[in-house]
Amino acid sequence: MTDASQPAAQIAPRRTPGPIARTMRRLPLTAKIGAAILLMWLITVVTVQLWPLADPLQMVGRRLQPPSMDHWLGTDALGRDVFSRTLHGAVWSIPIAIVVVACAVAIGSFLGAISGFFGGWWDTIIMRLVDVTVAFPPILLAMAVAAMLGPGLANASIAMVIVWWPIYARLMRAQVLEVREREHVEAAVAGGAPPLRVLRVHVLPLCWTPTLINATMDFGQVVLLAASLSFIGLGATPPSPEWGSMISEGATRFYNWWIAFGPGMAILTVVLATSFLGDGLRDLFDRRSQ
Amino acid sequence: MLAYILRRLITIPFLLLGVASVSFLLSQMTKGDPLAALVPERMMSNPEVVAAVKAEWGLDQPLPVRYVVYLGKLVQGDLGTSFTTRRPVATDIAERLPATLELVVAAMIIGTVMGLALGLLSARFRGSVIDSVARIFALIGSSLPIFWSGLILLYLLSVRISLVPGTGRLPPRVDPPPHTTGFYTVDALIAGDVGLFVQALTHLALPAFVLGWAVTGVITRLVRSSLIEGLSMDYARTARAKGAAERRVLVGHALPNAMIPLLTILGFTFAYLITGAVLTEAIFAWPGIGSYAVRAAASLDYPAIGGVTIVGSIAFLLANLLTDIAYAWANPRIKVH
């Protein structure tokens, strides 16, 4: 087998780019910049432990020092290096946002697909549930759930999934309703395919584009809400270097502006990057928005 | 039209019931003792008081009965007693609501004006540097963590250059104007106290700007795309053919048509504003229901959080209802189903 593939590779040295590479090439410049920033943050999340940074949890200098060559973003009230804490903060904020968006997409899409495909009572129950959930202002619902479950990142994440799933239920339902009426689905049903198989094989694969674009856009918003919950004391607890709780520390030490500066810039770059990338993807794929 | 509004109105009580039910279930899921929320600590040792409160709130009853009792209290406007302030939550909220409304209304005005201005600029000069700068300014506003931008701007503008006063609604030891609307700016004008009006306005300016900037992004993007769409329509071509200048086509013809989509997102913007108000109030020590909710959440004051959640949801539902009605009124072609 290895021998056979070897010459084949030589005959066709120019590989056709995969779908991701092709998409990337067609994106506008701003979206490429957004993707690059997000990629840099992802690399940071994976490799930050290996970087020659000060320990984010230990006192490494004098307290409340303004930015200097030794401490690029200064030190906080406990003499910890703010630059190091900001980069380590990504390890908290970014994986949590990924998990929250993934769970919201999974739950919302599942319920939305059932609602749209089967209709009837399923549709009524699920959509009324959606209506009630979106009747709450998002941050108040998240605060109420997080407070009831008790502070902590896991509970804050559950609260955020509860806030976000209805968006994906509505998106998926709308897509399924549209695709369900197409001829190939009719053909599959006429051919005697069981309903779940029709949904899985003939409908769902055509329904993901709006969901994925929306998930990209929402990623930054989830980072923002997670930081907000931590800021008001319902998310990460000290001493973990989470961006929201770092800004919260900075807010109590008003004159030492540098404590909050790094984490705020970190959030801003992530949110801006996802907006750029999400906008670019939407312009490419979502014909209805044009 | 009337049928449409009625049909929308009918859904409101059901949604409110849903909201109340979720709030009730959340309050039942708490690990804390509900009695602690209802009985002052020094009364806890008094078995008569405890028994009386238990009977009053139906705490000795099974869950469905408690639910009915809860709904009954809610209908009468009784939201329970706050852990921290030891006062009825409804009283606390009523006292603090005007501060939040003043902030949100001011932010809405700033956000809409900035959004319209930036949208007009970027549509007029689309593709140019002005377009890019306007869009990036708007986008940054909606990407900033508001509790951070508030902090940084407060530091820069208040501490460093003293352009605006510090936190709160008025300087320390200044008495608020006599209560009419609860909006300090308006009340000061009614009382004829210009000095007080200026103080209230300068205190309002920065938090309202920070909050308004956060909604500018959505509005700018929408205004820009509606205007650009309008400029390619037949009516714009006709206006140009009749010799109208490009600016006149934009402001006189495209802009009025861009107002309808703008109406549709005001409800959506309101969600942003509530979220932002909670965080803005926390930074600016603004004595509204947002900072009340933050303090309640931090001290796990469940009745207070529940109360703010319900009041916030009612406001949110009303805003969405008004948006829908305004939309149906502005655009009679809307399909009514």
What is the ipTM metric for this complex?
0.85
Give pLDDT, residue A13.
55
Mean pLDDT score of chain B: 85
- Residue B312, chain A, CB below 8 Å: the answer is yes
To probe the interface with A, which of B16, B83, B148, B283 has the most A CB atoms within 10 Å?
B148
Residue of A233, A257, A261 lying closest to B297 (CB–CB):
A233
> Do B31 and B114 sit in the same domain of this protein?
no
> Do B137 and B267 sit in the same domain of this protein?
yes
- Per the structure, the count of domains in chain B is 2
User: Residues A37-75: pLDDT tens digits?
Assistant: 999 999 999 988 888 777 777 777 777 788 877 777 788
CA distance B141 to chain A (A): 10
The dihedral of CA B290, B295, B297, B303: what is its sign?
negative
**For A227, nearest residue in chain B (alpha carbons):** B145
- Has residue B115 got a pLDDT over 90? yes
Asked whether the beta carbons of residue B297 and residue A250 sit closer than 8 angstroms, the reply is no
> Do B175 and B271 sit in the same domain of this protein?
yes
* Rounded-to-integer distance, Cα B199 and Cα B149, Å: 22
Give pLDDT, residue B322.
83
In chain B, what residues touch A137 (CB-CB under 8 Å)?
271, 274-275, 312-313, 315-316
Which one of B75, B105, B140 terminates a domain?
A: B75
Enumerate residue ranges in chain A where pLDDT < 50.
1-5, 7-9, 289-290
The dihedral of CA B11, B309, A167, B67: what is its sign?
negative
The CATH number for B231's domain is 1.10.3720.10
> Do B159 and B22 sit in the same domain of this protein?
no
Band of pLDDT at residue B26, cut at 50, 70 and 90: confident
Q: Which domain holds residue B30?
A: 18-75
Q: Which residues contact A74 (CB under 8 A, 6 or more apart)?
A: A64, A65, A66, A67, A68, A82, A256, A258, A259
In a domain, B139, yes or no: yes
> Do B266 and B317 sit in the same domain of this protein?
yes
In chain A, what residues touch B30 (CB-CB under 8 Å)?
148
Crossing angle for the helix pair A82-118 and A29-47, to the nearest 10 degrees: 110
> Do B53 and B154 sit in the same domain of this protein?
no
Q: Give DSSP secondary structure letters for chain A.
A: -HHHHHHHHHH--SPPP-HHHHHHHHS-HHHHHHHHHHHHHHHHHHHGGGS----TTS--S-TTPPS-SSSTT-B-TTS-BHHHHHHHHHHHHHHHHHHHHHHHHHHHHHHHHHHHHH-HHHHHHHHHHHHHHHTS-HHHHHHHHHHHH-SSHHHHHHHHHHHHHHHHHHHHHHHHHHHHTSHHHHHHHHTT--HHHIIIIIIGGGSHHHHHHHHHHHHHHHHHHHHHHHHTTSS--TTS--HHHHHHHHHHSTT-THHHHHHHHHHHHHHHHHHHHHHHHHHHH-GGG-
> Do B65 and B129 sit in the same domain of this protein?
no
In a domain, B57, yes or no: yes
Give pLDDT, residue A9.
46
Comparison of pLDDT for A97 and B38, the residue scoring more: A97
Give pLDDT, residue B275.
81
> Do B188 and B323 sit in the same domain of this protein?
yes
Q: Would you call the peptide bond into A239 cis, given omega within 30 degrees of 0 as the criterion? A: yes
Asked whether the beta carbons of residue A231 and residue B147 sit closer than 8 angstroms, the reply is yes
* Rounded-to-integer distance, Cα B234 and Cα B237, Å: 5
Averaged pLDDT for residues B73-78: 88
Give pLDDT, residue B91.
93
CB–CB of B29/A149 below 8 Å? yes
CB–CB of A213/A23 below 8 Å? no
Give pLDDT, residue A84.
85
In a domain, B3, yes or no: no
- Has residue B337 got a pLDDT over 60? no
Structure tokens at A286: 């979502």
Band of pLDDT at residue B38, cut at 50, 70 and 90: low
Which of 317-336 (B) contact A at CB < 8 A?
317
Residue of B18, B144, B298 lying closest to A132 (CB–CB):
B18
Range picked from A66-70, A282-286, B257-261, B278-282 for highest mean pLDDT: B278-282
Averaged pLDDT for residues B222-236: 89
Which of 277-296 (B) contact A at CB < 8 A?
278-279, 282-283, 293-294, 296
In a domain, B142, yes or no: yes
> Do B50 and B105 sit in the same domain of this protein?
no
To probe the interface with B, which of A232, A247, A248, A279 has the most B CB atoms within 10 Å?
A232
Give pLDDT, residue B288.
92
Give pLDDT, residue B299.
78
* Rounded-to-integer distance, Cα B78 and Cα B92, Å: 12
> Do B235 and B155 sit in the same domain of this protein?
yes
In a domain, B91, yes or no: no
In a domain, B70, yes or no: yes
CA distance B179 to chain A (A): 28
Averaged pLDDT for residues B327-336: 66
Angle, CA A59 vertex, CA A54 and CA A60 arms, to 5°: 45
Give pLDDT, residue B231.
87
CA distance A137 to chain B (A): 6
> Do B100 and B70 sit in the same domain of this protein?
no
User: Residues A212-236: pLDDT tens digits?
Assistant: 888 988 899 999 999 999 998 888 8
Which of 210-249 (A) contact B at CB < 8 A?
220, 224-225, 227-228, 231-234, 243-244, 247-248
Which of 129-188 (A) contact B at CB < 8 A?
131-133, 135-141, 143-151
**For B20, nearest residue in chain A (alpha carbons):** A132
Lowest mean pLDDT among A201-210, B32-41, B65-74: B32-41
Give pLDDT, residue B67.
87
Averaged pLDDT for residues B202-231: 91
In a domain, B12, yes or no: no
Domains parsed from chain A with CATH numbers: 34-46+69-285 (1.10.3720.10)
Residue of A144, A247, A260 lying closest to B305 (CB–CB):
A144
| A57 half-sphere exposure, CB direction, 13 A CA radius | 6
* Rounded-to-integer distance, Cα A159 and Cα A140, Å: 10
CB–CB of B268/B328 below 8 Å? no
> Do B297 and B171 sit in the same domain of this protein?
yes
Give pLDDT, residue B135.
87
- Has residue B74 got a pLDDT over 50? yes
User: Residues B118-152: pLDDT tens digits?
Assistant: 999 999 998 889 998 998 888 888 888 999 999 99
CA distance A227 to chain B (A): 8
In chain A, what residues touch B309 (CB-CB under 8 Å)?
136, 140-141, 143-144
User: Residues B288-324: pLDDT tens digits?
Assistant: 999 999 888 877 788 888 899 999 898 888 888 888 8
In chain B, what residues touch A260 (CB-CB under 8 Å)?
148, 151-152
